[in-house]
Structure 1
């Protein structure tokens, strides 16, 4: 079995995520509790009584704490992926799985990243819209025409037939209108708090570049496929530079999945919450089985299925 592990991105979060793992696994608890944050991680992640989990500065460390905990449980079970990748925020979880970051470091870094992205979004009337059923070239032309009204870019190449545009709301709305005229099946506005993965996030990239000067980046123990490349990094690429670029450029998830297929990956495990990435896998690599893991029961089911195949 040649396994790749994919880590979910922002948007899949919900109160209670990770609670079952936390109550049942010391390894999960050790990773989850490793960081020093300025808020109660358990309260927000498991209960969210104040309704802040969907705010970027809280979402990001909560999601990564969950992912690091699951990675620790996977290691306990002897699960050794050949490759790792993640959707946007999930790339930090993939790098933790690859040994570049400790769990503490990944959680604290994404708390910083979340705040930097929230700060960069302040004062911008932004929008993001999922565009279904239109190819890249046609949608790029729509964005180029609509850019007369402001910044609009394709920010996510998720899977065949599913792209996401983002930027300043007037330009995004115009690009969506043009996309419908060009033959898009549907254009679905998304609830977002910032123009993520567009050039408007450049201030967040600058903030991360400064933070990375004081961070230790260890050697990857397994290859990570990077969002802004859609593949593994070249020797000339540095991880800090790729992460600075990532926050303000497109996420090439479809390209990443196709590359995993080229590399011979025959099983994929999505570390949730949610199963959005599994949906992308089914549309991009329909012959590759993909299991989603958010709970201990789902992990047990995946492990049992692999044993049955062996």
Structure 2
């Protein structure tokens, strides 16, 4: 089983969309996505600097649009498609589109609402996120609790993302748990924590207007790593996930239980394949960062189908 993985916020870098605009039809598609999400995605992905694309209102639609562009490009090139899909944080919006639960237009409109609502919630209190790599997990969680920080992402492969107020994050970085490295993430809020609860209602209202289809592919939720067969349930979980932890560790464990034979991560790729190489050792993983990576992804699909 080949699994398509869609990354979350923080994976974007300035100019990363430029190579994709060289493909036929991509500029037009991105223009339509821009209208849906109410963000100039072409300018954001080719011209804007790191600070501008760090803005949650921009970053979330930009990442999902890139994922959908690279997903469509692979489907055009390959004779088959991955058997399963999963998304990390906002990547779940792209996963729902890839699985047929939402149309691309619905997905881009929804992620526009999500980005704006989460940015508004983040503006209420200055918060952020730090990746904590290595160390004893119990000791890390105990340290986060003493600082009133939340383990927002359980990423597996020895990585937990802590979220909360900036002073608490600074204290964590200044006095890290033994054996850990603490890396500030380029995000603008404490996502997947209580600080995002004001955003849930706005996203719930937007989701209520949609009529999701049941997934055509095996679809994982990173709320607990289980597979979801109901489109409505998948959409409800996506809404609640805004203020609850991402359990990518459980998602990767479920990949293994389902007999994963390879992972393809879509643009802006790199983070999830890195986690897979450590958490699913020996499993081939292809990061589709630019169109030049599509051939390797198609070859992985072809090998699995043989």
Q: Do 1:209 and 1:240's aligned partners in 2 also have CA atoms closer than 8 Å?
A: no
Q: Residues of 2 paired with 1:260 and 1:305: CA distance?
A: 17
2:206 pairs, out of 190, 205, 211, with 211
Q: Which residue of 2 aligns with 1:34?
A: 32
Q: Which residue of 2 aligns with 1:251?
A: 246
Q: Which residue of 1 aligns with 2:89?
A: 88
Q: Do 2:215 and 2:231's aligned partners in 1 also have CA atoms closer than 8 Å?
A: no
Distance verdict in 2 for CA 1:237–1:171, change over 3 Å: farther
How far did residue 50 of structure 1 move?
A: 9.8
Q: Which runs of 5+ in 1 are unaligned?
A: none
Q: Do 1:127 and 1:169's aligned partners in 2 also have CA atoms closer than 8 Å?
A: yes
Q: Which runs of 5+ in 2 are unaligned?
A: none
Secondary structure of the residue that 2:52 maps to in structure 1? coil
Matched, 1:119 2:116: no
Deviations 1:57-112 (A, max 9, x none): 01111111111112212222233211101111111001100001111111121111
Q: Which residue of 2 aligns with 1:20?
A: 19
Out of 294-303 and 247-256, give the one that drifted further: 294-303
Q: Which residue of 2 aligns with 1:138?
A: 139
Matched, 1:101 2:102: yes
Secondary structure of the residue that 2:147 maps to in structure 1? helix
Deviations 1:178-202 (A, max 9, x none): 752xx34222333431111111100
Q: Residues of 2 paired with 1:138 and 1:6: CA distance?
A: 30
Q: Following superposition of structure 1 onto structure 2, how do residues 191-270 of structure 1 map, counting pairs within 5 Å?
A: 191-233=186-228, 238-270=233-265
TM norm structure 1: 0.88
Q: Which residue of 2 aligns with 1:165?
A: 162
Distance verdict in 2 for CA 1:59–1:190, change over 3 Å: closer
How far did residue 49 of structure 1 move?
A: 6.7
Q: Do 1:31 and 1:104's aligned partners in 2 also have CA atoms closer than 8 Å?
A: no
Out of 196-205 and 43-52, give the one that drifted further: 43-52
TM norm structure 2: 0.89
Secondary structure of the residue that 2:86 maps to in structure 1? strand
How far did residue 154 of structure 1 move?
A: 0.3
Q: Which residue of 2 aligns with 1:63?
A: 63
Q: What is the alpha-carbon root mean square deviation over aligned residues?
A: 2.4
How far did residue 305 of structure 1 move?
A: 5.4
Q: Do 1:29 and 1:69's aligned partners in 2 also have CA atoms closer than 8 Å?
A: no
Q: Do 1:85 and 1:91's aligned partners in 2 also have CA atoms closer than 8 Å?
A: yes
1:282 pairs, out of 266, 272, 277, with 277
Deviations 1:203-250 (A, max 9, x none): 111111111111221111112111211221376981232112211111
